[in-house]
Structure 1
């Protein structure tokens, strides 16, 4: 079922993309949509204030195991997204995924297969993936 959803999304993106079919246009649209995601997150902090970012150096003990490292690092996010900010960020991420699917279409790649392969890679390496 999930593969059908992703394939359907990628097919729909191919059908709806009319003006920006050039790979150059797609790359710049993808980059622009990514910056809009970043901007929407920043606006949630600076304009709405529904969440805050309290960034500081991550304190990881030198002798920490991988499991201890996982629990000792933080996201630096405090608070929860309000409904308006959540909607804006979801919309911008959706647009970003649309252009990602469009790039896959232009390069004759299947987004679902890419997700499966990446999932296999990260599962195979497990906690040693360290991203």
Structure 2
């Protein structure tokens, strides 16, 4: 069922993408959409203030077991997105998925296959995946 959702989305993208059909347009629009996600996150901090970023070097003990390292890592985010900021970030992520799908379509690559492949890699390598 989930593969049908990815396939349907990719097919819909293929049907409606008209103006930015060139691979050059697609990759630049994908890059632009990534920048807009970043901008929406930053605006949530600087304009709205619903979240804060409090970043510093992670303090990880020297002899820590690698399986326990997550206990010492932090996203540096404080607070929670308000509905307006959350909606804007979702919108920008959606646009990013649109252009990622368009890129996959140009190369005849299934998003579902990409998700499956990455999922298998994560399952196999676990924390040693080093993402």
Q: TM-score range by the shorter chain?
A: over 0.9
| CA–CA separation in structure 2 for the residues paired with 1:37 and 1:127 | 26
Alignment of 1:60-99 (within 5 A): 60-99=60-99
Secondary structure of the corresponding residue to residue 21 of structure 1: coil
Report the Cα offset of residue 67 of structure 1: 2.4
Whether 1:100 and 2:126 are equivalent positions in the alignment is: no
Aligned to 2:116: 116
| CA–CA separation in structure 1 for the residues paired with 2:60 and 2:12 | 45
Q: Is the 8 A contact 1:21 1:106 kept in 2?
A: no
Secondary structure of the corresponding residue to residue 52 of structure 1: strand
TM-score (norm 1): 0.98
Structure 2's unaligned 5+ residue stretches are none
- In the TM superposition, structure 1's runs of 4+ consecutive aligned residues that sit over 4 Å from their partners are none
| CA–CA separation in structure 2 for the residues paired with 1:66 and 1:6 | 35
Aligned to 1:42: 42
Q: Is the 8 A contact 1:7 1:112 kept in 2?
A: yes
Aligned to 1:27: 27
Instruction: Report how many residues are paired.
Output: 131
Superposition RMSD in Å = 0.7
Report the Cα offset of residue 82 of structure 1: 0.1
Structure 1's unaligned 5+ residue stretches are none
Aligned to 2:5: 5
Secondary structure of the corresponding residue to residue 60 of structure 1: coil
